[in-house]
Structure 1
Amino acid sequence: MKPEPGGELIRNNIDDAIDTTQFQNALALIDSNYNIVFVTGQAGTGKSTFIRYLREKGGLNAPVLAPTGVAALNVNGQTIHSFFHIPPRIINPDEIRPLWNRRLFEVLRVLIIDEISMVRADLMDIIEISLRKNTGRYSELFGGVRLIVVGDLFQLPPVIASQVESRYIFSRYKTPHFLSSNCMSTARLGMVELTKVFRQQDLTFLKLLSNIREGNDLTTTISEFNRRCHIGNVEEDGVIILTPDNATAGWINHSRLSRIQSPEHEYEGIIVGQFNIETDRLPAPKNLKLKAGAQVMLTKNDSNHRYVNGTIGVVKELSPQAVIVES
């Protein structure tokens, strides 16, 4: 996922963007009787700009949610799990209880979800059930709340982290995508695809992404990406390296850590409950080795909103009880 440019560029783009027929069609759909409006388009077509417009000038006063902390940060929003107070795991619909802040849901009329391609079908159904229970409007789909979902189904798919999740999903849904959820079978869906590219400074890169997205001219496109791949050691500190597998990433991280001339601290994770560390994904190594000066990524959202899953920082201080990271 690549965030849209921010600041003044976004604000200057808003007025240009809403002049397009596609943006106007999307705004018209929101004012219609659809339960859910799906705004899609490839990278650079103004999807985040559209969300910014709805927030700044659309007068909707709608919460903006996303499936991950980084995605929520990019749109100044909140994660889906945080908003609905649900854990990041398979949830039985019977577990959903009305929340203490019912007043928020009673006045809720519109909800915006970004990066909808990453929202799994079972989570979409949990969102629908939670909206019914918290608004008190049990007979209405989504509790009468209109959903505006934004994203590109050719980008990141929903995460299926284990065999247990895979069996659960494919025994209940045709695909893991939100469109295969039970609630979508009865929803009135309106859709607009944005096609005009506003990110003019990235046209070559966007063309390559579009080729990958649509399967066009793949030989030339892959050659262009391979030409930009770095082969060999990266000596410069602070550079983020993308690798195809965890083993390579682990080797690079170990190599970088060994070059730091400061004492090493090792922290052992505590596992509570039934958890198979051989097959289940851990958010961090069970035995985590750190040094002051090491670049790290945080893998949990902070309840006080100081950082999110995906925030990158540098270790400043270490003690047996705490690690201080500056982002």
Structure 2
Amino acid sequence: GKAGTGKTTFLKYIRESTLKQTVVAAPTGVAAINAGGVTLHSFFQLPFGPFVPTSQNSLTNHEQGIIDQHSLFRNIKFFSAKRRLLEELELLIIDEISMVRADMLDAVDLILRQFRKNLHQPFGGVQVLFIGDLFQLPPVMPEDQWQILKHYYESPFFFHSKVIKQDPPVYIELKKIYRQSDQHFIDILNRIRNNEMIEDDFNILNKLYKPSLISSEDDRYITLTTHNHKADLTNQSALDKLEDPSYSFAATITGEFNEKNFPTDQQLTLRKGAQVMFVKNELGELKRYFNGKLAVVTSLTDERIVVELSGSGMKMALEKETWRNIRYNYNAEKGEIEEEEVGT
């Protein structure tokens, strides 16, 4: 489903309602933290080099960092508890599937078949639920690795993996967009997304283009940039222009939490009048904000942030949020796969 169609809400519902022994994984650390799961690489001990889906690859050697079926299992060191967890696993949820490479998915398939002693069923008989938007971030594939893998795969995308081509999944698309209410605007966005723009779309957008526009500080336009550091400079410049005193709010880090996986800055500095963007959905009944929702800071103290939500004009005091870093363990006494919080 595209942005705003409820993928995160759906994932949360599945986690809370399923009776199956479940693991949630994602291709990157940040995506795993946001999904409330673990990375595919850490859970399955996947290699960071290219994986070729054969056991007779003449190119494979240590210097090139290429992994084939034999060397994949030589590098995996699962303790008995982890092996038991894989044996009991019933549902594997992979979030942000668009970023998962074809060779990595084939490696996951092979590992599950081997350690579950079920060589003839995809993923060793584990039900797999893929969640994501294929129009968003693609897999990261360095050119030198693609020169090797192109002999085995049509593209780096997960749907060209051997396991998916052998046993295609059922595709279910979430179509209703909850973040926008203007249907005309939604239709234009969808046609842009699908490369199906019509003449009226161009005319409407071109009428809104103002090349000589001089923006004021009150306009609060969003600036799109190519790199994070450019966005940081733009935001800092806008913050520096505000006259009210600044307040800084530092994250409290406990346990194991890799700095690269922080979902936002470790220290947040704000001033009254600053425009902010939420990076997390509100999970309660009210659903006043969502990832990408804009607001303006209306008052600040050392312990309190009050913002006015864009669009509705509603004011709300923000509360501290917690992101959890977890790992999965198998509890033999209960016969359950459990989450262990290792850091926040």
Task: Map residues 40-189 of structure 1 onto 2, 5 A cutoff.
Answer: 41-91=1-51, 92=67, 93=69, 94-96=71-73, 97=76, 99-100=78-79, 101-160=82-141, 162-189=142-169
CA distance in 2, matches of 1:51, 1:225: 40
Residue 62 of structure 1 and its aligned partner are, at CA, apart by 1.1
Closer, same or farther: CA 173–53 of 1 in aligned 2, 3 Å: same
Q: 1:304 aligns with which of 235, 253, 256?
A: 256
Closer, same or farther: CA 227–78 of 1 in aligned 2, 3 Å: farther
Closer, same or farther: CA 86–226 of 1 in aligned 2, 3 Å: farther
Q: Which amino acid aligns with 1:169?
A: L
SS in 1 for 2:261: coil
Unaligned runs of 5+ in 2: 52-66, 238-246, 249-253, 269-322, 324-344
Q: Deviation digits for residues 242-285 of structure 1, max 9, x if unmatched?
A: 423x5xx6677689999xxxxxxxxxxxxxxxxxxxxxxxxxxx
Q: Which amino acid aligns with 2:43?
A: F
CA contact (8 A) 2:46 2:107 kept: no
Q: Which amino acid aligns with 1:183?
A: V
CA contact (8 A) 2:94 2:128 kept: yes
Unaligned runs of 5+ in 1: 1-40, 259-292, 295-301, 317-326
CA contact (8 A) 1:62 1:112 kept: yes
CA distance in 1, matches of 2:42, 2:217: 39
CA distance in 2, matches of 1:67, 1:163: 19
Root-mean-square deviation over aligned CA pairs: 4.1
CA contact (8 A) 2:21 2:88 kept: no
Structure number with greater Rg is: 2
> Does residue 1:243 correspond to 2:222, yes or no?
no
CA contact (8 A) 1:66 1:72 kept: yes
Residue 209 of structure 1 and its aligned partner are, at CA, apart by 3.8
Closer, same or farther: CA 171–311 of 1 in aligned 2, 3 Å: same
CA distance in 2, matches of 1:223, 1:251: 26
SS in 2 for 1:190: coil
CA distance in 2, matches of 1:225, 1:109: 54
SS in 1 for 2:170: strand
Q: Deviation digits for residues 97-136 of structure 1, max 9, x if unmatched?
A: 3522111101011101111111111111111111122223
Residue 141 of structure 1 and its aligned partner are, at CA, apart by 2.1
CA distance in 2, matches of 1:88, 1:205: 41
Identical-pair percentage = 35
Q: Deviation digits for residues 197-256 of structure 1, max 9, x if unmatched?
A: 233468677555423211233774794898599x999999xx996423x5xx66776899
CA distance in 2, matches of 1:228, 1:85: 52
> Does residue 1:211 correspond to 2:191, yes or no?
yes
What TM-score does the superposition give when structure 2 sets the normalisation length?
0.55
CA distance in 2, matches of 1:314, 1:87: 29
